[in-house]
Structure 1
Amino acid sequence: MPVLWIVLAVLGLGLIGYMVGRMRALGSAGGDTRQLHSLPNYYGWHAFMLTIVPALLVLAAWLLVAPNMIESRIGGALPDSAIADGSSRSLVMAETRRAAGAVDMALAQGKLDAEKVAALRSDFTDVTSLLKETGAVITSDISEPVLNAALDFRDMVRSSNLWMTIVVGALSIAGFGMAILRTDKDFRARNIVEGGIKVILILASTIAILTTVGIVLSMLFETSNFFEKYPWQKFFFGSSWAPEFRANADGSSRSELGMLPLLWGTLYISLVALLVAVPVGLFAAIYLSEYAGSKLRAVAKPMIEILAGIPTIVYGLFALITVGPLVRDWIAQPAGLGNSTNSVMTAGLVMGIMLIPFVSSLSDDIINAVPQTMRDGSFGLGATHSETIKQVVLPAALPGIVGAVLLAASRAIGETMIVVMGAGAAAAQFQDGLGAVINPFEAMTTVTVKIVSQLTGDTDFASPETLVAFALGLTLFVITLGLNVLALYIVRKYREQYE
């Protein structure tokens, strides 16, 4: 049974439990709510929670654990003969999953039936062309071991789904029955429900914390695997980015995976973006908070914040179609600085436009948080409006504004789509000289773009060229975490001083 149907069935049974539990409690009290220990709704919520919560928790755990166990078992059973030269067990397992999915698609399209699928084990034929007709992405001819593994994988998945349906359904029915049997007028339903809600809240917060820990640990483990295959000195201090998935004859890597060109491109594009976003956003915040009337502010601030809701792919198209050609034709070519529409300046300008609402909205809130008594004291001493803003309001709001700028910087460092479409995917070439590296009209790329490119496609997951994405991600995580911590520290210090 599909997971969605299971969830809907459990929720439906939970709603039935809610109504039955409520009616049973009222029936045990003869319809007099004054004889009930708790309000009638608490008895219904008790039945609802006992019906759905254990069942859905087991369902979530099953969906997390079972696929990994199945893949581990099927992958471990693959014979070494199924792994061709230049391939790996992970790549063969990916082909196995695709073949299993193609068999299901062929069954759904009527190109195979259950008898033909069963006959494939004993009478193997070349089924690659047949499975490709279903629309599946089959990258190579399917060998007999891979087909057998795909059929085993399919059988285990179906068996797992069947047992998952049975176990989840049994838990839901058992919870329903237990809740109904326990329900009477003296049952302390309110205490149980409130305690259950508290447990759910604790569980939700624990999941959030564990998710963060899991993300960090996964990057740490894969990064350690990368540094076992590639020297960390070359990664952190290397000045060339040239991944090569083909190895030398002795098995050593041909790649040059220095992150300095990517880090330079990330910081350079982010700097250009901040040079655009910070002045415009800050001046807009000053005008809206200190000069604009209430009617204009009610219209202008939402209009500025609309920029934050535009998808980044739309910004990327804007950079590719409009800003890139304008920068090339009006600035780069006349000045003899470049002929490409992809450049640091293109990506930086468009990213800066995207960051304006981040700086403007946060700065506006921070400026408005400055106590009015400080303005009144300045006016009482004879200062003008502009002098009050420059000498009183901005210095008081400066820590918060710096925090807003740092948060915008961390947002710029993590951007991908605008960089791909506005600045290209080529890393900075330090060997071409200082001029090529600092020229804002040259194409460069960032860490996030290379993380995506290194993990795209059917590549050996255990190769340094793939594992480098985790090292890049961990480095970027540390940088953005540091910026966020610094920003939060500055904002907290500001709030403690002026609230």
Structure 2
Amino acid sequence: MQTNQIFLLFCGVLLALGLAAFFMARAKATRTRASGTAMYAQPDQYAWFSVLITAGPAVLVSAVGAFAMLLLGAEIPTLYLLASSLAIAAIGLLLGLKQVRPDFHARQAIERVIQGILAAAAMVSIITTLGILLSIVFEAVRFFQMQSFWEFITGTIWNPGASFLAAAGRGDEAGSAAQFGSVPLFVGTFIITLIAMMVAIPVGLFSAIYMAEFAPDRIRTLAKPVLEVLAGIPTVVYGFFAAITVAPIVVDIAGVLGLDASYSNALAPGLVMGIMIIPFISSLSDDVITAVPDSMRQGSLALGMTKAETIKSVVLPASLPGIISASLLAVSRALGETMIVVMAAGMRPNLTANPLEDMTTVTVRIVAALTGDQEFESAETLSAFALGLVLFVVTLALNMVSVIMIRRFREKYRSNNL
């Protein structure tokens, strides 16, 4: 019998056991309750508890076995694994029926199971984050054993050269001449992100204020979905738009003003990235502004303030923590963008503050370092993990700053209301 047939048979038998547990437990609880005995839970609650104790351990054992086979390489016969899971399900069915008694709190037991499932889901995200961090840290440590950490942080030249030959036992001179100064990469990242935020925050915030405070319902119903469509456009399409349309326009405008601009300039991807990020700020800010109680607006207007003054002095301060969160989320999105920068700004590490010149970002260099046929043990490849670690720290610092700012604004707003 093939594996997929065995799996289908397992699912069918487990479903049958679950249905049997549900109806048998409910029937038993109904009979007990009909006899006049007071019970702590409803018959359906006993039934669902029986289903959980029947199917839950069986599914858990199967998942653990599959994990051991796929990721750890354990040799476990599929038939034996699924048969043992069904045996556990049968035992769970008997235990579930045995627990159908007046003094058993089935409702509380179900809530504890659900709470455990939710806690496990939360732990998955935490463990995943720790796994990502540890995998980056271990490889970054290997890179810093080859290159100086201080030179990596403060160096102004990024030139891996032929450092990949050193890992193959050749080209020691080329490997030692490689320079891994990350300053040009982070400068390019921050400049392009700053340009994007200068476009996204004003436009996104103003559009959110208009849709939440001024737009009629028919316009809001049409405008908000159309605006959110921008978030669903693939970044490669934005990259085409930046490289083919926006970059030549920037060069033409710079020529009219007497400035020299490269067709692979940083201004074009920054502008297009800002357009891409507008829905993040607009949608979240709109939800936050709409959530401000209408009684606050009515009270402000009753005191003689105009609608514009109400928005400025009442609505925006009340929604400021959410607006800050939306802006920081947009900044994180801009810091991690790659495709638009590759297609419109190029891949040359260029330490300059002129947005009309070409430059690149950290994420672009990470992609470049991890693609191609270079040796994985080389400093150039491992530099991707060092860049990723520093970018992770920068993003974490931004999130911590946002949390502190949100708490201060909330405390200030609460104290002003008091």
**For the superposition of Structure 1 and Structure 2, which TM-score range results when normalised by the shorter chain?**
0.7 to 0.9
Q: Does 1:449 align with 2:372?
A: no
| Structure 2 unmatched ranges of 5 or more | 35-42
C-alpha distance in structure 2 between counterparts of 1:224 and 1:382, whole Å: 63
Displacement, 1:452? 1.2
**Is the contact between residue 288 and residue 322 of structure 2 (CA under 8 Å) also seen in structure 1?**
yes
1:300 equivalenced with 2:214 (yes/no): no
The residue identity in structure 1 corresponding to 2:165 is R
Distance 1:26 1:344, change over 3 A: closer
Classify 1:21/1:290 alpha carbon distance in 2 versus 1 (closer, same or farther; 3 Å). closer
| 2:59 equivalent to 1:44 | no
CA-CA distance at 1:281 after TM superposition: 1.2
SS where residue 324 of structure 1 aligns?
Answer: helix
Q: Aligned residue for 2:335? A: 413
For the residues of structure 2 that align with 1:255 and 1:20, how far apart are their CA atoms?
69
How far residue 353 of structure 1 moved from its aligned partner, in angstroms, is 0.3
Kindly indicate whether residue 310 of structure 2 is the aligned counterpart of residue 388 of structure 1: yes
Aligned length: 396
- Residue 206 of structure 2 is matched in structure 1 by 283
Name the residue aligned to 1:475: 390
Distance 2:199 2:277 in 1: 9
Quote the Cα distance in structure 1 between the aligned partners of 2:243 and 2:2: 42
CA distance in structure 2 between the aligned counterparts of 1:226 and 1:464, rounded to whole angstroms: 6
Shift of 1:219: 1.6
TM-score, normalization by structure 2: 0.82
Give the Cα separation in 1 of the matches to 2:72 and 2:95: 33
CA distance in 1, matches of 2:381, 2:18: 51
Q: CA, structure 1 residues 337+44, in 2 after alignment: closer, same or farther (shift >3 Å)? A: same
Cross-structure match for 2:326 = 404
Shift of 1:373: 4.8
Bigger shift: residues 165-174 or 256-265: 165-174
Residue 366 of structure 1 contacts residue 400 of structure 1 at CA under 8 Å; is this kept in 2?
Answer: yes
Tell me the alpha carbon deviations over residues 365-416 of structure 1, each in whole angstroms, 9 at most, x when there is no partner: 3333445455445434443333333444445544543443232212211111
1:424 equivalent to 2:339? Answer no
Pair 1:172-2:110 in alignment: no
Distance in 1, matches of 2:261 and 2:399, equals: 37
Query: 1:126-155: CA deviations, max 9, x gaps?
Result: xxxxxxxxxxxxxxxxxxxxxxxxxxxxxx
| 1:298 partner amino acid | T
- Residue of structure 2 in register with 1:360 after alignment: 282
Give the distance between the partners of 1:194 and 1:380, measured in 2 at CA: 47
| Contact residue 347 and residue 359 of structure 2 kept, 8 A | yes
Q: Whole-Å Cα distance in 2 between the matches of residues 216 and 378 of structure 1?
A: 48
Closer, same or farther: CA 171–399 of 1 in aligned 2, 3 Å: same
Deviation at 1:174, TM superposition (A): 2.6
Pair 1:305–1:164, CA change in 2 (3 A) = farther
Please give the residue correspondences for 1:228-377 in structure 2 after superposition, counting only pairs within 5 Å: 228-244=145-161, 245-247=164-166, 248-249=171-172, 252-328=175-251, 330-335=252-257, 337-338=259-260, 340-377=262-299
Give per-residue Cα distances to partners, 1:157-176, cap 9 Å, x unaligned.
xxx5x625245324323323
Query: Which of the numbers 43, 51, 61 marks the counterpart of 1:54?
Result: 61
Question: Compared with structure 1, are the counterparts of its residues 456 and 34 closer, same or farther at alpha carbon in structure 2 (3 Å cutoff)?
Answer: same
1:260: how far off? 0.4
Change (3 A) 1:368 1:312: same
The one of 212, 227, 239 aligned to 2:129 = 212
Quick check: 1:203 aligned with 2:120? yes
Mean CA deviation greater in 452-461 or 272-281 = 452-461
CA contact (8 A) 1:312 1:418 kept: yes
Could you say if the C-alpha distance between residues 164 and 214 of structure 1 is closer, same or farther in structure 2, counting changes exceeding 3 Å? farther
Which segment is superposed worse, 222-231 or 286-295? Answer: 286-295
- Superposed displacement of residue 30, structure 1: 11
Larger mean CA deviation between 331-340 and 350-359 belongs to 331-340
| Structure 1 position 198, deviation (Å) | 3.9
Q: How far apart, CA to CA, are the structure 1 residues paired with 2:373 and 2:85?
A: 41
How far, CA to CA, are the matches of 1:291 and 1:209 in structure 2?
Answer: 41
Aligned residue identity for 1:417: M
Unaligned runs of 5+ in 1: 67-159, 431-436
Q: Given that residues 18 and 46 in structure 1 are in contact (C-alpha distance below 8 angstroms), is that contact kept between their aligned partners in structure 2?
A: no
Task: Tell me: CA distance 1:284–1:182, structure 2 relative to 1, closer, same or farther (3 Å).
Answer: closer
Q: CA deviation at 1:19?
A: 2.5
1:227-263: CA deviations, max 9, x gaps?
1111011100110111132333468433211110100
Asked whether the equivalents of residues 404 and 487 of structure 1 are also in contact (C-alpha less than 8 Å), the reply is: no
Distance 1:389-1:4 versus aligned 2 partners, 3 A rule: farther
Alignment partners' CA distance in 1, 2:376 and 2:235: 29
**CA RMSD between the two structures:** 3.2
C-alpha contact 1:37 1:185 (8 A) present in aligned 2: no
The separation in 1 between residues aligned to 2:51 and 2:300, in whole angstroms, is 61
Contact 1:403 1:490 in 2 (8 A): no
Aligned partner of 2:380 in structure 1 is 465
Which position in structure 2 is the counterpart of 1:16?
A: 16
Distance 1:204 1:380, change over 3 A: closer
Provide, for residues 452-479 of structure 1, a one-character-per-residue CA deviation record: whole Å limited to 9, x for no partner.
1111133322221111111111111111
Identity score, percent: 45
C-alpha distance in 1 between matches for 2:135 and 2:56: 33
Counterpart code for 1:53: L
Q: Aligned partners of 2:297 and 2:26: how far apart in 1?
A: 62
CA distance in 2, matches of 1:200, 1:399: 31
The alpha-carbon distance between structure 1 residues 387 and 208, as it changes in their structure 2 partners (threshold 3 A), is: closer
More off after superposition, 265-274 vs 193-202: 193-202
Give the direction of change, closer, same or farther, for the CA distance of 1:164–1:279 in structure 2 (3 Å limit). farther
- What is the CA–CA distance in structure 2 between the aligned matches of 1:340 and 1:317, rounded to whole Å? 16
**3-state DSSP of counterpart to 1:304:** helix
Q: Residues 331 and 15 from structure 1, CA distance in 2 versus in 1: closer, same or farther, beyond 3 angstroms?
A: same
Contact (CA 8 Å) 1:407, 1:483: kept in 2 or not?
no
* 2-structure distance, mates of 1:6, 1:426: 55
